[in-house]
Chain A
Amino acid sequence: MKLKLAFIVAIFVSLISITFWELYWRNQEKIPDFDDDKGLWAEQRKKVEKAGSSSTVLIGSSRVLFDIQLDVWEEKTGQLPIMLASPGSTPLPVLRDIVDNTSFNGTLIVGVTPGIFFSTTYPEAPPWKRAQTKVDHFKKRTYAQKLNHLLSLPFQENFVFVSGSEEKWSDDIDLGSLLSRISIGDRFKSLEPPFYNFSYSRIDRNTRMSERTVNDTTFANTIKKVWFFFGSQSPPPDKVSTIAFFNDYAAKFQRRGGKIILLRCPSSGALKQGENAMLPRQHFWDSLVVSSGLRSYHFEDYETLKNFECPEWSHLSGPDADKFTANLIEILQKDKILANLKK
Chain B
Amino acid sequence: MLFNSLGFIAFLAIVLFFYYTNFLSWKSKKGMLLLASYIFYGLWNPFLVILLWISTFVDWTAGNKLVYEENEVKRKFWLILSLVVNLGFLAFFKYGNFLLENFVLAVNSAGMAYEPQPMDIILPMGISFYTFQTMSYTIDLYNRRVDPAKTFLDFALYVTFFPQLVAGPIVRSKDLVTQFYEEKKANVEQFIWGTFLLTLGLFLKMVMADTLLAGSSDAVFNSGLIPHSLDAWAGTLAFSGQIFFDFAGYSTCAIGIALMLGIILPDNFRYPYAAIGFSDFWRRWHISLSTWLRDYLYIPLGGNRFGITRLYAALIITMLLGGLWHGAAWTFVFWGALHGIYLILERVLKQRIHFKINAFTGIFLALGTYFLINITWVFFRANDFSVAWNMLSSMFFLNNEENIILSSFAVLKVFLVIGLTFICHWLLRNSSVRSIAEKSSSWALGLVWGAMIFLIAISQTSGEQFIYFQF
Q: Say whether B411 faces chain A, with CB atoms less than 8 Å apart.
A: yes
- The total of interchain contacts (Cβ-Cβ below 8 angstroms) comes to 154
Contact B450 A17 (CB under 8 A): yes
Given contacts A18-B454, A18-B457, A147-B43, contact A6 B412 (CB under 8 A): no
Given contacts A9-B450, A13-B450, contact A184 B195 (CB under 8 A): no
Contact A187 B408 (CB under 8 A): yes
Contact A17 B454 (CB under 8 A): yes
Contact of A4 (CB < 8 Å), options: B192, B207, B412, B455: B192
What residues of A have a CB within 8 angstroms of the CB of B1 in the complex? 144
Contact B5 A3 (CB under 8 A): no
Q: Say whether A342 faces chain B, with CB atoms less than 8 Å apart.
A: no
Partner-binding segment picked from A48-56, A68-76, A159-167, A327-335: A159-167
Q: Is the interface of B mostly helix, strand, loop or mixed?
A: helix
> CB-defined interface of B445-471 with A at 8 Å, one 1/0 digit per residue?
111011101110111111100000000
Residue of B with least CB distance to A35: B462
Given contacts A8-B446, A9-B446, contact A148 B6 (CB under 8 A): yes
Contact A10 B408 (CB under 8 A): no
> CB-defined interface of B407-435 with A at 8 Å, one 1/0 digit per residue?
11111110000000000000000000000
Within 8 A of A (CB), among B255-300: none
> CB-defined interface of A24-40 with B at 8 Å, one 1/0 digit per residue?
00000000000001000
Q: Is the interface of A mostly helix, strand, loop or mixed?
A: helix
Residue of B with least CB distance to A39: B462
The distance in angstroms between the C-alpha atoms of A272 and B378, with both chains bound, is: 48
Given contacts A152-B6, A187-B411, contact A21 B442 (CB under 8 A): no
What residues of A have a CB within 8 angstroms of the CB of B450 in the complex? 9-14, 17
**Minimum Cβ distance to chain A for residue B390 (Å):** 18
Contact of A180 (CB < 8 Å), options: B7, B46, B215: B215
Contact of A144 (CB < 8 Å), options: B7, B189, B410: B7
Contact B42 A188 (CB under 8 A): no
Contact of B407 (CB < 8 Å), options: A12, A143, A147, A183: A183
Contact A151 B45 (CB under 8 A): no
Residue of A with least CB distance to B2: A144
Contact of A188 (CB < 8 Å), options: B10, B212, B406, B447: B406
Given contacts A14-B457, A164-B460, A175-B460, contact A186 B408 (CB under 8 A): yes
Contact of A174 (CB < 8 Å), options: B451, B459, B463: B459
Contact A183 B409 (CB under 8 A): yes
Q: Say whether A5 faces chain B, with CB atoms less than 8 Å apart.
A: yes
Contact of A13 (CB < 8 Å), options: B210, B438, B454: B454
What residues of A have a CB within 8 angstroms of the CB of B455 in the complex? 175
Given contacts A152-B6, A187-B411, contact A142 B453 (CB under 8 A): no
The distance in angstroms between the C-alpha atoms of A189 and B410, with both chains bound, is: 12
Q: Say whether A191 faces chain B, with CB atoms less than 8 Å apart.
A: no
Contact B44 A21 (CB under 8 A): no
Contact A166 B462 (CB under 8 A): yes
> CB-defined interface of B189-220 with A at 8 Å, one 1/0 digit per residue?
10011011001000000010011100100000
Closest 8 CB pairs of A and B: A9-B446, A13-B450, A164-B460, A185-B408, A10-B449, A174-B460, A14-B453, A5-B442
Additional 7 contacts, C-beta under 8 A, given A9-B443, A143-B43? A13-B446, A13-B447, A147-B10, A173-B458, A174-B458, A184-B409, A187-B407
**30 examples of A-B residue contacts, CB within 8 angstroms:** A1-B188, A3-B189, A3-B193, A3-B442, A5-B446, A6-B449, A7-B195, A7-B196, A7-B446, A7-B449, A10-B445, A10-B450, A14-B457, A147-B10, A148-B7, A152-B6, A161-B457, A161-B460, A164-B459, A164-B462, A166-B462, A174-B459, A174-B460, A175-B207, A175-B459, A176-B460, A179-B212, A185-B409, A187-B408, A188-B406
